[in-house]
Chains A and B, each alone.
Chain A
Amino acid sequence: MSRQQKETTMTAGSLAIRDLEVIVAESGEAILKGVSLELQAGKIFALVGESGSGKSVTSLASMRLLPEALRITAGQVFLGQEDLFNLPEARMQEVRGRRVAMIFQNAMSALNPVQTVGQQVAETLKLHTALRGQALRQRVVDLFAEVGIPQPEQRFGFFPHQLSGGQQQRVMIALALACEPEVLIADEPTTALDVTIQDQVLRLIRELTHSRQLAVLLITHDMGVVRQTADEVGVMFRGELIERAAVDDFFRAPKQAYSRALIDALPDLGHFREPTSEAPLLVLDDVKVHFPVRRGLLQRVVDYTRAVDGVSLEIRRGETFALVGESGSGKSTLGRAILNLEAIAGGSIHFRGESLHKLDRNGMLPWRREIQVIFQNPFSSMNPRMSVGEIIAEGMLSLGVEADAGRREARIRELLQRVRLEPSHASRYPHEFSGGQLQRVAIARALAVNPQLIICDEPTSALDVSIRAEVLELLAELQREFGVSYLFITHDLSIVPSLAHRVGVMQWGKLVEQGTAEQILTAPQHPYTQALLASVPTLDTT
Chain B
Amino acid sequence: MFAYIIRRVLYAIPILIGVNLLTFALFFVVNSPDDMAVSQLGDKYVTPEAIDNWKRKHGYDKPLFLNPDAGGVETLTDTIFFNKSVKLFAFDFGRSESGRDITTDVTTRMGPSLAVALPTFLVGIGVNICVALMVVMFRATPLDRGAVLVFVALMSISYLFYIIGGQFLVAKTWKLVPISGFHPEGQVWKFLILPVLVGVVAGIGAGARWYRTLFLEEANQDYVRTARAKGCSELRILFRHILPNAMIPILTGVVVLIPALFMGSLLIESFFGIPGLGSYMLDAIRSQDFAIVRSMVFIGSILYIVGLILTDISYTWADPRVRLS
Contact = CB atoms under 8 A, between A and B. Distances in A.
Q: Do chains A and B touch in the complex (CB under 8 A)?
A: yes
A103 to B, nearest CB: 9
B223 A65 contact: no
A65 B222 CA distance: 12
A96 B231 contact: yes
Interface in A77-105: 90, 93-98, 101-102, 104-105
A522 to B, nearest CB: 40
B319 interface: yes
B7 interface: yes
B103 interface: no
A95 B241 contact: no
16 contacts: A63-B229, A68-B139, A93-B231, A94-B231, A95-B231, A96-B229, A104-B229, A105-B222, A106-B222, A109-B223, A110-B226, A113-B245, A114-B319, A115-B244, A159-B320, A297-B6
A65 B229 contact: yes
Contacts of B319: 113-114
Nearest to B318: A114
A9 interface: no
Nearest to A112: B223
A223 to B, nearest CB: 25
Interface string B284-321: 00000000000000000000000000000000001111
A512 to B, nearest CB: 31
A299 interface: yes
A19 B123 CA distance: 51
Contacts of B3: 295-297
B320 A112 contact: no
Contacts of A67: 220
Contacts of B221: 109
A123 interface: yes
A161 B232 contact: no
Contacts of A68: 139-140
Interface of A: 60, 63, 65, 67-69, 90, 93-98, 101-102, 104-106, 109-115, 123-124, 127-128, 159, 161-162, 172, 175, 295-299
Contacts of A297: 3, 6-7, 10
B64 to A, nearest CB: 34
Contact of A97 (B10, B220, B223, B230): B230
B228 interface: yes
B45 to A, nearest CB: 58
Contacts of B245: 112-114
Given A296-B3, A297-B7, A112 B230 contact: no
B229 A113 contact: no
Nearest to A295: B325
Given A69-B140, A104-B229, 16 more contacts: A95-B231, A96-B228, A96-B230, A102-B226, A102-B229, A104-B225, A106-B222, A110-B223, A110-B225, A111-B223, A114-B247, A123-B230, A123-B232, A127-B230, A298-B7, A299-B7
Interface in B212-255: 220-223, 225-233, 240-241, 244-245, 247-248
A295 B220 CA distance: 36
A102 B226 CA distance: 8
A139 B248 CA distance: 31
A110 B140 CA distance: 23
Nearest first, the 8 A-B pairs at minimum CB distance are A97-B231, A68-B140, A97-B230, A96-B231, A102-B229, A109-B222, A159-B320, A110-B222
A104 B248 CA distance: 24
Contacts of B223: 109-113
Contacts of A104: 222, 225-226, 229
Nearest to A59: B229
Contacts of A162: 320
A42 B6 CA distance: 60
Nearest to A93: B231
Q: B139, B220, B222, B318: which has the most chain A beta carbons within 10 Å?
A: B222
